[in-house]
């Protein structure tokens, strides 16, 4: 099959949604995964209006059986993935280390570490079949910043997992890379930096197009 297939996890809003739109408008069939059905449907409307195509997957990435069914369906329908952009993340409210609720720590571990590692194990064979690439958006500015204990720990742990996967895959594939978007006026950032001048931030679509440009330059 010549058509390129991309999985975007965390595709309902922000950078993930922008990536899904940009990929779909550039010939990818996008598998858009997120929990929020309404936001996925709005994304699909935008993709279709631009002439693209998407498969919507309303799913919590902590649903391991659901992820297994998804990957089996991808294998049966397309036999491969050419690209995976993992933009899904749980971010609890900012808080001093000693005041982060146990429930937030538990969800941080479940969504940002356990689910991501399980996704890697399930998606890797599909990426290998498609000579594909996996991309993780990163933010190295938050680790160690005050009040960012849970979110900073999540981003640092994800980066560590991804970097290890990249090192392990040099000779066997898939191609595992990271991408550092410029600060964007997303809903998540608004929670972290209320009152910030959002006019100075870079639009998610701009960063999504920059990612696509880099992928093309790297032969993806």
Handedness of CA 132, 61, 55, 180 (dihedral sign): negative
Residues contacting 116, CB < 8 A, separation 6+: 61, 86, 88, 158, 161
The CATH number that applies at residue 118 is 3.40.50.720
pLDDT reported for residue 132: 96
In a domain, 217, yes or no: no
In a domain, 169, yes or no: yes
Pairing of strands 4-9, 83-86: parallel
Cα atoms in the 13 Å half-sphere on the side-chain side of 106: 3
Domain that holds residue 154: 4-209
Q: Does 174 sit behind a cis peptide bond, omega within 30 degrees of 0 on the bond before it?
A: yes
Q: Report residues of the chain scoring pLDDT below 70.
A: 1, 220
In a domain, 59, yes or no: yes
pLDDT reported for residue 144: 87
* Rounded Cα gap, residues 190 and 47, in angstroms: 25
The string of pLDDT tens digits covering residues 138-171 is 998 898 899 999 999 999 999 999 999 999 999 9
In a domain, 190, yes or no: yes
* Rounded Cα gap, residues 69 and 53, in angstroms: 21
SS (H, E, C) 108-132: HHHHHHHHHHHHHHHHHHHHHHCCC
Query: How many other CB atoms are found less than 10 A from the CB of residue 76?
Result: 8
In a domain, 154, yes or no: yes
pLDDT reported for residue 98: 95
SS (H, E, C) 28-96: EEEEEEECCHHHHHHHHHHHHHCCCEEEEEECCCCCHHHHHHHHHHHHHHCCCCCEEEECCCCCCCCEC
In a domain, 219, yes or no: no
* Rounded Cα gap, residues 103 and 83, in angstroms: 32
In a domain, 55, yes or no: yes
pLDDT reported for residue 1: 56
In a domain, 215, yes or no: no
Q: What is the pTM of this model?
A: 0.95
Token duo for residue 146 = 């005050």
* Rounded Cα gap, residues 61 and 162, in angstroms: 17
Q: How many domains is the chain built from?
A: 1
pLDDT reported for residue 140: 87
The string of pLDDT tens digits covering residues 158-167 is 999 999 999 9
């Amino acid at each position: 099959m010549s058509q390129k297939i991309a999985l975007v996890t965390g595709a309902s809003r922000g950078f993930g949604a922008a990536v899904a739109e940009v990929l779909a408008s550039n010939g990818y069939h996008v598998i858009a995964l997120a929990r929020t059905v309404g936001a996925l449907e709005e994304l699909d409307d935008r993709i279709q209006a631009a002439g693209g195509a998407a498969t919507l997957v309303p799913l919590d990435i902590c649903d391991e059986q659901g992820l297994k069914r998804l990957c089996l369906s991808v294998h049966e329908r397309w036999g491969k993935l050419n690209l995976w952009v993992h933009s899904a993340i749980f971010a609890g409210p900012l808080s001093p280390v000693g005041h982060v609720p146990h429930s937030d720590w538990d969800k941080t571990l479940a969504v940002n570490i356990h689910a991501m590692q399980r996704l890697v194990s399930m998606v890797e064979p599909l990426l290998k079949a498609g000579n594909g690439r996996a991309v993780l958006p990163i933010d190295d500015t938050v680790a160690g910043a005050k009040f960012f204990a849970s979110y900073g720990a999540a981003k640092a742990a994800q980066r560590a997992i991804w970097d290890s996967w990249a090192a392990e895959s040099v000779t066997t594939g898939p191609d595992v890379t990271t991408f550092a978007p410029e600060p964007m006026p997303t809903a998540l950032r608004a929670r972290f930096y209320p009152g910030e001048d959002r006019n100075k931030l870079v639009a998610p679509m701009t960063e999504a197009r920059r990612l696509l440009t880099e992928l093309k330059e790297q032969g993806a």
